Amino acid sequence: MYKVIQKHKNYSLHIMVVILGLTGIFGKLISLNELELVWYRMLIAFVSLSIFLVYKKDIFSIKKTDFFGLLGVGSLVTLHWIFFFGSIKASSVSIAVVCLSTSSLFSAFIEPIFFKRKIILYEVIMGIVVILALVYVLGMDSKNIKGYIYGIAAAFLGTLFTLFNAKYLKKVDAAKITMVEMLSGVLIITSIFLYNKDYSVFQNLPSINDAYYLILLGTICTAMVFVWMTEIMRHVTPYSLIMAINLEPIYSIVLALIIFGQSEFMSTSFYIGASVIIGVVFLDGYLKNKQ
């Protein structure tokens, strides 16, 4: 696999991003609510990565401090996914993935605090442009307000997750990081079910269709992609990776239109606002590469 990635690195990179783009598609295809969906996704990913690490004989080499720290980071990705899939259920795949693109806005203001660096002027300007684009879209599409709120919350939590997760990448293998974070999500959501005395997820199996999509979502779109991304990063420049990942919303929107048809068609104002937001994200990646 590693030799194939090295030989066809650009193709591998874009195939990986298309697979990431399928996450939102599966979120809409699966009939479960967002809590149950995320619980199954994280459980399947945890089991898959555990089997992978047992096969590599490398599962029990995580320091205790790193283990508990990663459980905390896992709570952020859990909430991120709950709000992301909540946005899809409340509105559409297109709205959820465009809102996720606003992560660059939050990053512009959170990164300087997190890394104790100066605020970069062009990041602030881009953040304002993103806000204006969102205000424009919201003003024209108030019926999907809940989807936008959930999507923006997912973007904020995703930014926090990325920043906190980065501190472990140089110390712990990516597969172990993801495995512990998936375990965190399973424990958190299980606790929510038990607190609410909701035992349905433990008593009832998902439908055959849901089970099929959940397995694909948990193994290919979660466990495999995280390991795959780590290996690809050895063979491509950070700029290439950033630019490719920025294509994810476009892939998701196109796939959603092809698969779901009429239900995913949005107003002209949405596509104008979305184009501005995605354009800002690309420009941000370009300017960072120039620096």
**Residue 106 contacts residue 162 (beta carbons within 8 Å):** no
pTM: 0.87
Q: Which residue has the higher pLDDT, 13 or 217?
A: 217
Q: What is the mean pLDDT of residues 122-146?
A: 81
Name the token pair of 144.
């999907």
* pLDDT at site 1: 46
pLDDT in tens, 169-205: 778 888 888 899 999 999 999 999 999 999 999 989 9
- Spell out the domain ranges in the chain: 2-290
* pLDDT at site 3: 47
Q: What is the mean pLDDT of residues 94-110?
A: 82
Cα–Cα distance list, 197 to 39, 97, 109, 193, 201 (Å)? 16, 32, 40, 6, 11
Percent of the chain with pLDDT strictly greater than 70: 88
* pLDDT at site 5: 42
DSSP 201-223: HHHSPPPHHHHHHHHHHHIIIII
Q: Which residue has the higher pLDDT, 254 or 78?
A: 78
* pLDDT at site 6: 46
Separation between Cα atoms, residue 108 and residue 127, nearest integer Å? 7
Q: What is the mean pLDDT of residues 45-74?
A: 88
* pLDDT at site 11: 66
* Position 38 confidence tier, pLDDT thresholds 50, 70, 90: very high
